[in-house]
Amino acid sequence: MNSMNYVGLDIHKKSISCCVRQADGTIIQEGTIPATRDALDNWMRQLPQPCMAGMEATLFTGWIYDHLVSGGTMVKVAHPAMLQAIAAGKKKNDRVDARKIADLLRCDYFPECHMAPREIRDRRRVLRYRNLLVRQAVQMKNKVSGLLMEAGVPYNQQKVHQKRYFTELLQKQKKEMPPSMPVLSWKSGLAIRLNPLPFHVPARS
């Protein structure tokens, strides 16, 4: 006899809709809880055991997945596109979505996707945002160079983004600077210095 309880979670920024079904499909628990760690802890203490939880992969899935797993709950994450293809319907709300996820778990139709270990996900996050900062820094440097060229101010391309050289350039070329040039001084103060990564990134083969 299957004694497993299946928990469907529909996750949002501020709330989580949940539905707990028995193996025969009977709903034994249903409701909405705040999307906070304390609320999850209180909710997990009330879950019938044994249980397995399922949720859709979203922006908020990572920390909820980690918190549930650390509390000893078995958790599966669904591929969003495949989940939509399997469980699409006209009637759609948070409670219905939680029920569908619990049903898919129960019937073994849950489209599980790979959930990378937390360490890997943390590294990916660091690399994504570092890449964003690099792109923004390059964009800012190009804007500064463009403003100098627009004003006809000669400068050393290799040194223009060095703070000391740039400050001296502004003072030296003060007469050629139009009234809008103080903006350049402000822009130069936005230069981003990126710290070394706290881990090794292997080169692509």
pLDDT for 147 equals 80
Cα 162 to chain centroid distance, Å, stands at 33
Least Cα distance to 31 among 19, 44, 43, 15 occurs for 19
Homologous superfamily of the 5-106 domain (CATH): ATPase, nucleotide binding domain (3.30.420.40)
pLDDT for 148 equals 81
Average pLDDT, the chain: 85
Domains of the chain, by residue range, sit at 5-106, 118-188
pLDDT tier for residue 157 given thresholds of 50, 70 and 90? confident
Per-residue pLDDT of 66-92, as tens digits, reads 999 999 999 999 999 989 887 776 667
Whether 140 shows a pLDDT value over 50: the answer reads: yes
Whether 192 shows a pLDDT value over 80: the answer reads: no
Q: How far apart are CA 103 and CA 24, in angstroms?
A: 10
Q: How far apart are CA 191 and CA 143, in angstroms?
A: 12
What is the helix (H) or strand (E) element at residue 118, kind and residue range? Answer: helix 118-150
Of the listed ranges 52-66, 91-105, 153-167, the least confidently predicted one is 153-167
**Do 103 and 25 contact (CB within 8 A), yes or no?**
yes
Least Cα distance to 34 among 45, 25, 21, 43 occurs for 43
Higher-confidence position of 176 and 23: 23
- Most confident option among 84-88, 102-106, 188-192: 102-106
Question: What's the mean pLDDT in 9-31?
Answer: 95
